[in-house]
Amino acid sequence: MYEPVDRCVTTILTPSYESKDFERMDKPPEKPPRKNKLNKQLKEESNEETKNNRMKPGDTCVDIDQINLEANNYKNKFTNASVQTSPLIPYRLRFWPKNCDFKCAPEDSCCSKVGLVCCCRIISQWVLSQVGLTIVVVLWALLGAFAFYKTEGPRELAQSENLAKLQRNLSANLASELEKTPRENWKFTIDKYLQKHETNLLEAVSAGFGEGGGGSIWTYPGCILFAVSLLTTLGFGAPVPRTSLGRGSAVLFSAIGIPLHFLLILNMGNLGAVRLQQLAFGTSSDVPTSERPRWLKWFPFFAILFYYLMGVVLFGFVRGRDPIDCFMFPLDFTAAGGVATTYGHVRVLYALYLEFAVTLAALVLSLTQASATRGVVDIGLKLGLLTNT
**Residue pair 266/164 in contact by the 8 Å Cβ criterion:** no
Q: In whole angstroms, what is the distance from residue 123 CA to residue 92 CA?
A: 18
**Residue pair 93/74 in contact by the 8 Å Cβ criterion:** no
pLDDT digits (tens, 9 = 90+) for 294-341: 788 888 899 999 999 999 999 999 998 999 999 999 988 887 788 888
Predicted TM-score (pTM) of the model is: 0.66
pLDDT digits (tens, 9 = 90+) for 321-333: 999 999 999 988 8
AA letter at 104: C
Ranges 61-70, 156-165, 285-294: which has the least confidence: 61-70
Q: For residue 130, what pLDDT band results from cuts at 50, 70 and 90?
A: confident
More reliable by pLDDT, 281 or 243: 243
187-204 average pLDDT score: 83
Alpha helix segments (H runs only) across 53-111: none
> Angle, to 10 degrees, between the axis of helix 130-180 and the axis of helix 244-281?
140
pLDDT digits (tens, 9 = 90+) for 206-238: 766 766 666 688 999 999 999 999 999 887 777
Q: In whole angstroms, what is the distance from residue 157 CA to residue 172 CA?
A: 23
**Residue pair 346/316 in contact by the 8 Å Cβ criterion:** no
Task: Please name each of the domains of the chain with its CATH number.
Answer: 130-373 (1.10.287.70)
Residue 352 has pLDDT above 90, yes or no: yes
